[in-house]
Amino acid sequence: LISSHNNEITGNTINNNKVGIYLEQSNSNFIDWNNLMGNGRAIVDNGENNIIGANNVLPSVPSEFPIEILLIILIVGLVVIGVIGAVVIVKKRISIPEKKEKEISEKKKAKVRMKLEAKLDLVDTLIRENNFKLAYKNLGKIKDTADIYEFFDIFNKANEKVEICKEKDTRIAGRAIEEEERKVKAVVPVIAKVEEKKFNLFISYSTVDRDYFQITKVVKELKRYPKINHVSYWERDSTANIVEFMDKTLEVSNTFILFCSEHSLKSKAVKDEWQAAFQMRKEG
| pLDDT single digits (tens) 199-214 | 888 877 766 665 666 7
79-93 mean pLDDT: 50
Alpha helix (H) residue ranges in the chain: 67-95, 98-128, 132-148, 152-196, 210-213, 215-222, 242-252, 268-279
| pLDDT single digits (tens) 211-240 | 666 777 888 888 888 888 888 887 766 777
- pLDDT surpassing 60 at residue 191: no
- pLDDT surpassing 50 at residue 284: no
Q: What is the pTM of this model?
A: 0.31
pLDDT of residue 211: 63
Choose between 123 and 60: higher pLDDT. 123
pLDDT of residue 99: 58
pLDDT of residue 100: 57
- pLDDT surpassing 50 at residue 270: yes
pLDDT of residue 155: 92
Domain ranges of the chain: 8-52, 109-196, 198-279
19-46 mean pLDDT: 83
30-39, 102-111, 132-141 — most confident range: 132-141
Q: How many CB atoms lie within 10 A of CB 81?
A: 11
The answer for 55, left when phi > 0, alpha when psi is -120 to 50, beta otherwise, is beta
Q: Nearest CA to 233 among 248, 224, 225? A: 248
| Residue 66 pLDDT grade (very low, low, confident, very high; cuts 50, 70, 90) | low
Q: Which strands sit side by side in the sheet containing 8-10, from one edge to the other?
A: 8-10, 30-32, 51-52
- pLDDT surpassing 70 at residue 3: yes
Q: How many CB atoms lie within 10 A of CB 2?
A: 10
Mean pLDDT, the chain, whole residue set: 75
145-160 mean pLDDT: 90
164 Cβ contact partners less than 8 Å away, ≥ 6 residues apart: 127
53-71 mean pLDDT: 60
| Residue 276 pLDDT grade (very low, low, confident, very high; cuts 50, 70, 90) | low
| pLDDT single digits (tens) 155-176 | 999 999 898 888 888 888 777 7
pLDDT of residue 27: 85
| Residue 89 pLDDT grade (very low, low, confident, very high; cuts 50, 70, 90) | very low
- pLDDT surpassing 80 at residue 188: no
